[in-house]
Amino acid sequence: MKSKNLLCVLAALTIIFISSNCWAKNNKNPKQGEVTMKEKTNSLKAFPAIQAKNLEGKQVAIPDDAKGKVTLVALAFLRQSQGQLDSWLNPFYEKFGKRDDFMFYEIPMISGKYVFIKPIIDNGMRGGLPQFKHKHVVTFFGDVNKYSKILNVDPKFGHVFLLDKEGMIHWQNKGSSEKDALEEMFGLAEKLSN
């Protein structure tokens, strides 16, 4: 019975991500391991406010709830971006996860027209993630196009943003991580923590 429910949840998630991004039907999605295209910010701008519940059911306001901490925010507009986000989030957690002056969030960006099945989606994600990550996964249901425009990002990729203690974007990247890009991110994160 549990496996049947899990299959239903996975099927629903796949349908949501495919249909919420149907505009990209003629574009190929990036493959895992594709070369990362780096994007650096030349002037600082604030990360736009996102409010939603995390997988623990608590309301989270990003970047406000992370004020005073160096924060990595990872956004996925497509289910296929999960591997890309993991390539950034897992090393970040390994390096800074036990420090109180660092935070990370993973934000699946899902069209608001699917909010009626939010419990099913969140339960499916909860079942597939270790307990300690639940407070870091904030599922957003709403105007995803608004955020892709504000952040000037290509929704075909997963995106990561390194924020200072005031919620300002100091660095961003997209796609899968590479060793040099991780080292650059780590170095800047350490600098921002001082």
Token pair belonging to 14: 């796949």
Helix axes 82-96, 179-193, angle to 10 degrees: 50
Q: Is the pLDDT of residue 156 over 60?
A: yes
- Residues 115, 141: contact at Cβ < 8 Å? yes
pLDDT score recorded for residue 182: 97
Average pLDDT in the 122-129 region? 87
> Domain 2-22+38-193 in CATH: superfamily?
Glutaredoxin (3.40.30.10)
Give the start-to-end residue ranges of the domains of the chain: 2-22+38-193
The answer to whether 105 and 183 are in contact (CB under 8 A) is: no
Dump pLDDT digits (tens) for 25-45.
Answer: 333 333 332 333 334 445 789
pLDDT at residue 17 above 60?
no
Contact 72, 161 (CB under 8 A): yes
Residue 112, classed as helix, strand or coil, is helix
State how far the Cα of 31 lies from the Cα of 51, in Å rounded to an integer.
Answer: 30
Q: What is the pLDDT of residue 45?
A: 93
Work out the mean pLDDT of the chain and round it to a whole number.
83
- Name the pLDDT band for 48 (thresholds 50, 70, 90): very high
